[in-house]
Amino acid sequence: MPFDAALERGLGGLPDADRRLCHELAAGVLRSGEALDAILAPLLRRGLDHTDPSVLEILRLGAYQIRKLDRIPPHAAVATAVALTRERIGERQTGFVNAVLRRVSRAPVSPPPGLDLATRTSHPEWLVARWLERFGPDQTEALLAWNNSHPPLVVQPTSGDVDALAARFEAAGVRSFPAPYGAGLVLEETHPERLPGYDTGAFYVQDPAQSLVVRFAAVPPGATVIDACAAPGGKTIGLARTAGLVIATDLARRRLTRLRENLARTGRQNVAVIHADALQPPVAAADVVLLDAPCLGTGTFARHPDARLRVRPEALERLVAQQAALLDALADRVRPGGVLCYATCSLEEEENTLQVDRFLARHPAFRRAAIEGMDVPRNAVGDLTVLPQRDGMDGAYAARLVRDETGG
């Protein structure tokens, strides 16, 4: 179960202050897991592998509070961990938890000597090695720091512009400021449902990077659009601002339910939702096809701290093959002269520029055709390329590919 869904299920009945603290603790332990283990390992006589997993989770939780949260006194963190151990595991383990965490509170605050970059920042070693080779040490350190930060709440106007939405917030006493590239509004509030206009669908929550993907697609007014892999619907709502009709498809029924809820709240009437596999598109042709492809998600580690625990080199290989199959399946659904926009929230070149290069080699009727003068970050070949450490938002990629008027 994804981190956000699991947290919502577990914390649904808590008061707001308790929910915020629990979110901080859960996300913090996920972001700092390997660094916490490096602190705990020398204090565990039997080692990490031979410590009861439930006890180890409580130790990580206590160590995170002691090392990372100034507002919680160490003695309170220890007492809470001991009480949790007594409640969840039993009295027998309370003395052990108490002793270990008291030693954590007395140990030096700096990381243990010799801790490598991947362990110190709790990222997969193979991924950090890739980033060091691609970005260099300074940018990689900045990327890892971004991934371990707390991304802000960013919203997009459902209709109208960002300035009008900002004025509405200001009139209600809600502070906001423009996101990078003017791609939405950054808010100090953490509960979007409390903001003015939420109930009437005046805005929707979406990271600036995903808003830039919609901007980069440049859907012509009145166009028919296929939004493949559409759920949960942020891009669908953005596309519907200018499209005549958006056909939103997804294979996951549960995610489609959320998409329909988001569409109902924002009042979009020009969207048709279809349960369908993008490998077998249910529509003959469209002016624009957006494939927001399944990917490794390495651009969203700050927003999804559990994602780094699941990434594997073999998963990257599998996803690259899946993306290629989806691109091939959707290419014929683009009308002559139409646009195929391929997007990911990945930082990996195999899923991005190299994937598009291989597609263009297989489909000579398509060519890159980004809109000139558009204010978005690009790579050397003109594709949208958002880097968290440079652009201050989630990572994202998009290529805008136009089919020849002859259809190829």
pLDDT at 12: 63
Q: Are strands 271-275 and 334-344 parallel, antiparallel or unpaired?
A: unpaired
Tens digit of each residue's pLDDT (9 = 90 or more) over 212-256:
999 999 999 999 999 999 998 999 999 999 999 999 999 988 889
Pull the structure tokens for residue 101.
């965490």
pLDDT value, residue 408:
66
- Residue 11, pLDDT > 70, answer no
pLDDT at residue 403, rounded to an integer: 97
Most confident range, picked from 42-46, 128-132, 304-308:
128-132
Average pLDDT over residues 314-342: 97
Q: Above 90 in pLDDT, residue 20? A: no
pLDDT tops 80 at residue 360: yes
Tell me what the pLDDT averaged over the chain comes to.
Answer: 91
- The verdict on whether 295 is a catalytic residue reads no
Q: What is the dihedral of CA 308, 313, 314, 316, to 10 degrees?
A: 70
Task: Report the C-alpha gap between 108 and 289 in whole angstroms.
Answer: 55
Q: Which of 229, 295, 341, 345 is catalytic?
A: 345
pLDDT of residue 254: 86
Whole-angstrom distance, CA of residue 344 vs CA of residue 398: 7
Map tokens 């996300």 to a residue. 27
Q: Which tokens go with 376?
A: 């978005």
The 10 Å Cβ neighbour count of residue 270 is 15
What integer pLDDT is reported at residue 213 of this predicted model?
A: 98
Mean pLDDT of 268-292: 93
Give the span between the Cα atoms of 325 and 359, in whole angstroms.
Answer: 10
Q: For 147-160, what is the mean pLDDT?
A: 92
How far apart are the C-alpha atoms of 335 and 332, rounded to whole Å?
8
C-alpha closest to that of 136 among 109, 150, 117: 117
pLDDT of residue 45: 85
pLDDT level of residue 328 (50, 70, 90 thresholds)? very high
Burial of 156 (0-12, 13-18, 19+ CB in 10 A): buried
Asked if residue 22 lies in contact with residue 324, where contact means CB atoms within 8 angstroms, the answer is no
**Under 8 Å between Cβ of 88 and 58:** yes
Tokens of 45: 């006589």
